[in-house]
Chain A
Amino acid sequence: MKKIGLLGFIAALCTSCLPIPFDLAVSQAAGTAAKMTRDNSGPISSNYFQGESQRDFAFYPQVLASGGFDYSAGFVTALDNVSVNIQAVANGSQNTNWNQPIPNPDPHAPAYLGWPVKSGTSYLFGIVFDALSPSSSGYALFQATPPSVFTSTGSSLLSLVAPLGFVNSVIGASVSASPSATFDLLHVLAVGATSYLEAAFQVQSTLPNVVISSVPRPSVALPFIPAGVKRVMYFYDDNTAADPSRVDNRSFACWYDASSSSWVSYAWWQTPTGVGSTFSMRLPADHRLDALLSTGQLLSTEDGVGRLYDRDGNLQATFPLGNLTYIAEEYVGGAPRCYFSQCLIYDHTLHFNIYWIPTDQLGTLGN
């Protein structure tokens, strides 16, 4: 019996340091990714792993003006407790690392929003939100020029909206892909004393003239947004596809309601678009909305679950994302695709795979 006990003890010692060969997030991502197309150039490796204090790794490839991505360049992003960690990757090698501080991260919403924007080089358009004060909100344009030059430039979003008559007031922003080869669209929601301002900016990555035009819309009263809300997920559907079923153009806002511990979403529009009376409706969706797609659908990726809603907030499909991160919608050959990145960590190294699916087939992930 002593021998048996000894054998058992040795076995316990040998195996006590062995991890379980399973990670639910990785497996769930693998199941969903199997229904998408994997970019063949991956995985993209990065030495940016700094330990367990980092989380939410993503890779944003460089956007090509001709459409799609160049996977040899882009940005690795991660969050730690105090900042967004950004690493520029160019031609498959890692360049300068940079941190964007997050003074007061929102405990519910993403601490920052990032979008790859069109460029001949590699750019990531990022916005860091302050959960306590919209006045400190800003944006930063992260640029890498091969092989190793890294620059960043930033100016407050306030400087964008100030000429339009609003100060200290940006509470929501989003970037949507444009079929245009030269720019993408930045949509901003700002709050004034009695009403809200919406504006669209054509943005491109050519420094320093990031914003090449702006399209303000009439200020509106949005009484359903609680006073004091400092952060909303905001989207504007300009119906680029000219879909008759999506008339009139809609705006969307989504915020976390602490009293119900869930997300509240509203849509509003003017009839006729942009000039008529304002109408609104509360959407039945109760999860955070993370993207407005070119199809007019809304995508939630909250808690590693993909939820696809129609423009009225009705749930159309649910699918597990695991550790897949939605990074952008881009036009390739005139057809929009949704892109996801998956980060696999082993050998103390980050390994990214990029998957895509035509936007109009995103709902099939729920099958």
Chain B
Amino acid sequence: MRGPLVLVLVLLSASGFALEAPRQIPRRLAVAVSRPQGSKFTPADALMIARSLHQHLQDADGQVVIVEIAEMPAAATPVEMGSAATAAGADSWMLLTLDGQWTSARLGFRADDLHSNSTVAQFSTTRTTLSSPASLPGETWADAVGAIAGKFPMIEVAAPPADSEQLARLDLTALPGSVITGLGSPPIRVDSSGSAFRMLLPEREYTLRTSLPGYVVVTQKIFLSGDRELAVQQKKSSRWGLDVSLSDSRAPGMDFTMAFPTLPLFMRLGITTYALALALSPTEVFLSVPLTNIELRAGIYLSPEDRFFRFYAGLGAFARIVHAKDTFPMFDPVAPLGFMLLAGTEVPISAQGRLYFEYTPSVYLTNMPDALRAALGSDNAPGWVFASSEGFSLISFRVGYRWQL
């Protein structure tokens, strides 16, 4: 008997059947919201409420992949929900019915498991303390989270017959030299032909980050259900930028920025003028002072460009030009030149635009420190310190908006 048994095992092995333990894959739960007729909630309300629910479901059960789907019609049936969930690659769904209004919300929950073809949870409840999306605490969704807790266990699937076949192949196309992270260690470096690949566990979502000096960092999410090819679309970083700013909450300015393609460095040339400045006075809105600074700044970014807060630091120099009526423009005789430190951060507002905030302590070079002191007024100006040939301004800020051209 031993001979035929060995033969069967050999044949099974040769035919590709695995002898390893089966593996488990996470469930994918499609979550949607619908508003019955008469609901006072707006589409924007529904979207923000759905986001809150998604977040709390995901935080509560890391083994369930939450899939967002669009708002369902008011009278969506379970069948329609099932279809929508399947189309989104999910194997289960939850529908939140949002009726009433903020101060007296009537919420309906239903969750179905398409895998077992069963309803996992179904209940209604009311909320009387809601006021806005920002006021939704975790407790709001405690019953929903609890209702599905543990109800969507991972699905056990048969393991592939060989190690290599347990994984899916992700073929990547990107610019040569690009570094791709988010696909396990070590980071992938795209070769000179512009291609790379990595074997990955399937049925998972991955967040790729592709960087290459001189190009905009690309961050994208993919769901890997099997072998797949992915071409990363990389866009050249713009070398030029335009800034508009407001210094010390009163003086408008404009700068042209030049970035260096392969280094996190920048150089800016611009002006800040007091010719049309905010007065910051109870009695005046604008004031006009015939002074314009020509400024040159250079610095280095300390954070990657795809960070929400991108910090930078640098140095700058400025020349103060007086352009009084009936006289030729000239360097300010009191303090013609100065230098500044930069410490700032940018925050992305749009694909091309960033808001920035800079702290710019400055030193004014002067042969007449007493004249510079007098120029600041009869009171001791806060934030100013004087030496024999310098005036230091320690409280100075700039806010602005930066466009990549």
Query: Which B residues from 138 to 164 make CB contacts under 8 A with A?
Result: none
Among B21-29, B121-129, B192-200, B389-397, which stretch is in contact with chain A?
Answer: B389-397
CA distance A22 to B292 in the complex (A): 10
Does residue A82 face the partner (Cβ distance < 8 Å to B)? Answer: no
CA distance A142 to B311 in the complex (A): 65
Does residue B378 face the partner (Cβ distance < 8 Å to A)? Answer: yes
- Contact check: which of A1, A12, A24, A29 meets B322 at CB < 8 Å? A24
In the complex, the answer to whether B397 meets A14 with C-beta atoms within 8 Å is yes
In the complex, the answer to whether B375 meets A351 with C-beta atoms within 8 Å is no
Smallest CB–CB gap between A304 and chain B, Å? 10
Chain A interface mostly: mixed
- Contact check: which of A14, A31, A353 meets B333 at CB < 8 Å? A31
Q: List chain B residues, Cβ under 8 A from A17.
A: 382
In the complex, the answer to whether B371 meets A11 with C-beta atoms within 8 Å is no
CA distance A346 to B384 in the complex (A): 12
Interface string of A93-131 (1 = CB under 8 A from B): 000000000000000000000000000000000000000
> Across the two chains, which residue of chain A brings its CB closest to B370?
A344
Does residue A243 face the partner (Cβ distance < 8 Å to B)? Answer: no
In the complex, the answer to whether A20 meets B274 with C-beta atoms within 8 Å is yes
Q: List chain A residues, Cβ under 8 A from B291.
A: 20, 22, 24
In the complex, the answer to whether B347 meets A26 with C-beta atoms within 8 Å is no
In the complex, the answer to whether A4 meets B347 with C-beta atoms within 8 Å is yes
Does residue A202 face the partner (Cβ distance < 8 Å to B)? Answer: no
Instruction: With A15-B397, A49-B378 as known contacts, state yes or no: A351 contacts B322, CB within 8 Å.
Output: no
Query: Which B residues from 343 to 399 make CB contacts under 8 A with A?
Result: 347, 355, 357, 364, 368, 370-384, 391, 393, 395-397, 399
Instruction: With A16-B249, A320-B327 as known contacts, state yes or no: A21 contacts B393, CB within 8 Å.
Output: yes
In the complex, the answer to whether A348 meets B289 with C-beta atoms within 8 Å is no
Q: List chain B residues, Cβ under 8 A from A7.
A: 357
- Contact check: which of B277, B333, B373, B399 meets A27 at CB < 8 Å? B333
Does residue A227 face the partner (Cβ distance < 8 Å to B)? Answer: no
> Across the two chains, which residue of chain A brings its CB closest to B372?
A21
> Across the two chains, which residue of chain B brings its CB closest to A348?
B378
Does residue B110 face the partner (Cβ distance < 8 Å to A)? Answer: no
Number of chain B interface residues as a range: 35 or more
CA distance A320 to B326 in the complex (A): 10
Does residue A363 face the partner (Cβ distance < 8 Å to B)? Answer: no
Query: Which of B274, B335, B373, B393: most chain A CB closer than 10 A?
Result: B373
Does residue A68 face the partner (Cβ distance < 8 Å to B)? Answer: no
Interface string of B247-278 (1 = CB under 8 A from A): 01111000000000000000000000010010
- Contact check: which of B251, B374, B379, B384 meets A23 at CB < 8 Å? B374
CA distance A29 to B376 in the complex (A): 15
CA distance A4 to B277 in the complex (A): 23
CA distance A12 to B249 in the complex (A): 5
CA distance A244 to B382 in the complex (A): 60
In the complex, the answer to whether A11 meets B333 with C-beta atoms within 8 Å is no
Smallest CB–CB gap between B278 and chain A, Å? 9
Interface string of B309-352 (1 = CB under 8 A from A): 00000000000101010010010111100000000000100000
In the complex, the answer to whether B334 meets A8 with C-beta atoms within 8 Å is no
Instruction: With A8-B357, A344-B374, A351-B370 as known contacts, state yes or no: A15 contacts B324, CB within 8 Å.
Output: no
CA distance A43 to B373 in the complex (A): 13
Q: List chain B residues, Cβ under 8 A from A24.
A: 289-291, 322, 324
CA distance A87 to B384 in the complex (A): 30
CA distance A162 to B82 in the complex (A): 117
In the complex, the answer to whether A22 meets B397 with C-beta atoms within 8 Å is no
Smallest CB–CB gap between A198 and chain B, Å? 36
In the complex, the answer to whether A346 meets B374 with C-beta atoms within 8 Å is yes
Q: List chain B residues, Cβ under 8 A from A1.
A: 347
Q: List chain B residues, Cβ under 8 A from A16.
A: 249, 280
Q: List chain B residues, Cβ under 8 A from A30.
A: 333-334, 368, 371
Instruction: With A30-B368, A43-B370, A346-B370 as known contacts, state yes or no: A20 contacts B334, CB within 8 Å.
Output: no
In the complex, the answer to whether A345 meets B378 with C-beta atoms within 8 Å is yes
In the complex, the answer to whether A21 meets B395 with C-beta atoms within 8 Å is no
CA distance A1 to B308 in the complex (A): 11
In the complex, the answer to whether B381 meets A347 with C-beta atoms within 8 Å is no
CA distance A31 to B330 in the complex (A): 10
In the complex, the answer to whether A34 meets B333 with C-beta atoms within 8 Å is yes
In the complex, the answer to whether B332 meets A22 with C-beta atoms within 8 Å is yes
Does residue A333 face the partner (Cβ distance < 8 Å to B)? Answer: no
Instruction: With A21-B335, A346-B380, A351-B370 as known contacts, state yes or no: A26 contacts B397, CB within 8 Å.
Output: no
Does residue A19 face the partner (Cβ distance < 8 Å to B)? Answer: yes
Smallest CB–CB gap between B384 and chain A, Å? 8
Does residue A28 face the partner (Cβ distance < 8 Å to B)? Answer: yes
Query: Which of A7, A28, A30, A34: most chain B CB closer than 10 A?
Result: A30
CA distance A52 to B290 in the complex (A): 22
> Across the two chains, which residue of chain A brings its CB closest to B359?
A11
Q: Give 8 pairs: A residue, B residue, CB < 8 Å, sorted on A.
A: A18-B396, A19-B376, A22-B291, A30-B371, A31-B333, A344-B374, A345-B374, A346-B378
Interface on B for A, CB 8 Å cutoff? 248-251, 274, 277, 280, 289-291, 320, 322, 324, 327, 330, 332-335, 347, 355, 357, 364, 368, 370-384, 391, 393, 395-397, 399
A21-B381, A346-B376 given; name 7 further pairs at CB < 8 Å: A1-B347, A4-B357, A21-B384, A22-B291, A22-B322, A320-B324, A353-B370
7 tightest A-B CB contacts, nearest first: A344-B374, A31-B333, A30-B333, A23-B375, A11-B397, A346-B373, A15-B248
